[in-house]
Amino acid sequence: MEKDEYTYEDYQETFNWLKRKTTLQPKVAVICGSGLGGLADKLTQPEVFYYKDIPNFPRSTVEGHAGCLVFGYLNGQSCVMMQGRFHMYEGYSLKKVTFPVRVFKLLGVHTLIVTNAAGGLNPNFEVGDIMLIRDHINLPGFSGQNPLRGPNEERFGTRFPAMSDAYDRNLRCLARETWRQMDFKKRELQEGTYVMLAGPNFETVAECRLLQRLGADAVGMSTVPEVIVARHCGLRVFGFSLITNKVIMDYDSLETANHQEVLETGINAAHKLEKFIFRLMEHVSKPEGIPH
């Protein structure tokens, strides 16, 4: 029977298993969202481990998520990448969804990059845009669905971690400057707030209108739990949403959102995000200190 709760020793067990399998010491972790797993193909000296073989790891069951943990170097930076993440809608607890993040902390990772495919709520966004995540709205958290719920593990972090600085300001500035130096058509990188819903259904028109009024620019079904746990254990975080579809805001519209569209758009636009993150790796240095 699979666990829904974990002890410090469970994280340590997974860490020890990985340390026996690889000598690479990653400093940056990347979680690849739907259709974005191709970034791992750019790693040099790759070492691939399937989730099913890693102790305590869940398995990814969603199309577009390969289900591999890949160690290697991206533009000279030592990295570990998740080709596929875990979601609430797969039936996993949030402890299980976020399990890898604390393992990354034990491995010596100092920075987490999160990526996702998202629906565009901001009317100024276009399909294929990349949105730098400035902030998030944790809607499942409003009903008590939080990965930190339960006894606090002080060896990872404090009981009440701040989230007002969840997405590192310096890294966001770096991302904007790097974007301007690249040959993309849009001179300015989109930036905004990501809202998480539990899924797996896409949103109703009324829900999309509400989310827009709440101040959200993009909507998806992932990312926020991993960010909360990463900040709890002191990792720097920055993230990107690939806008793969425009949400339906009009009752007269004959369009409907579907996962295949998300994957196809991701394939067509992902190379831009991959190229961008590759370039960013030149500048993601070890922080002097990481506040909780």
Q: Show which residues are catalytic.
A: 34, 65, 87, 89-90, 117, 221-222, 245, 259
> Is the separation of the CB atoms in 246 and 119 below 8 Å?
yes
Strand partners for 108: none
> Is the separation of the CB atoms in 111 and 234 below 8 Å?
no
Closest CA relative to residue 136, chosen from 158, 107, 165, 106: 165
Residue 185 burial class via C-beta count within 10 angstroms: exposed 0-12, middle 13-18, buried 19 and up:
exposed
Pairing of strands 130-138, 236-246: antiparallel
Strand partners for 131: 190, 241
